[in-house]
Amino acid sequence: MSRETTRDDTTETAEWRNFLAATSSAIMPCVNGPEWTSDDQQQQRRAAALCNGCNALRECRAYAFAVQERHGVLGGLTEADRKRHRRQQRGAA
């Protein structure tokens, strides 16, 4: 089973513009496959590992945090990774 992303590609943020600029020439592994929005942790980890070779990794990750994406794998981070990061940020504040 997979879930739809909550990402709104029409969101005009600096992170989104940076992401678009970075992806215009990147070879992106995330354009196909169910693993990017899968509920299966093994598939999510495989997708996150594929992100590490992407030229847009940094911009994708920044965008995921900027829009508080809760679903799918973006910027090499799974849902659980981003949730853990948000918790750590709240604890450090």
Half-sphere exposure in the Cβ direction for 91 (13 Å, CA): 6
User: What pLDDT shows up at residue 8?
Assistant: 57
Q: Which residue has the higher pLDDT, 80 or 29?
A: 80
Torsions phi, psi for 76 (to 5 deg)? 75, 10
Q: What is the pLDDT of residue 11?
A: 56
**pLDDT single digits (tens) 5-45:** 555 555 577 887 777 777 776 677 787 788 888 889 999 99
Euclidean distance between CA atoms 18 and 23, whole angstroms: 9
- Per-residue pLDDT tens for 46-71? 999 988 888 889 988 998 999 888 88
Rounded to whole angstroms, what are the CA distances from 28 to 32, 38, 75, 78, 83? 9, 18, 11, 17, 24
The confidence score (pLDDT) of residue 29 equals 76
What's the pLDDT at 62?
Answer: 92
Q: 82 CB contacts (<8 Å, ≥6 apart)?
A: 64, 65, 69, 70, 74
pLDDT grade for 81, boundaries at 50, 70 and 90 = very high
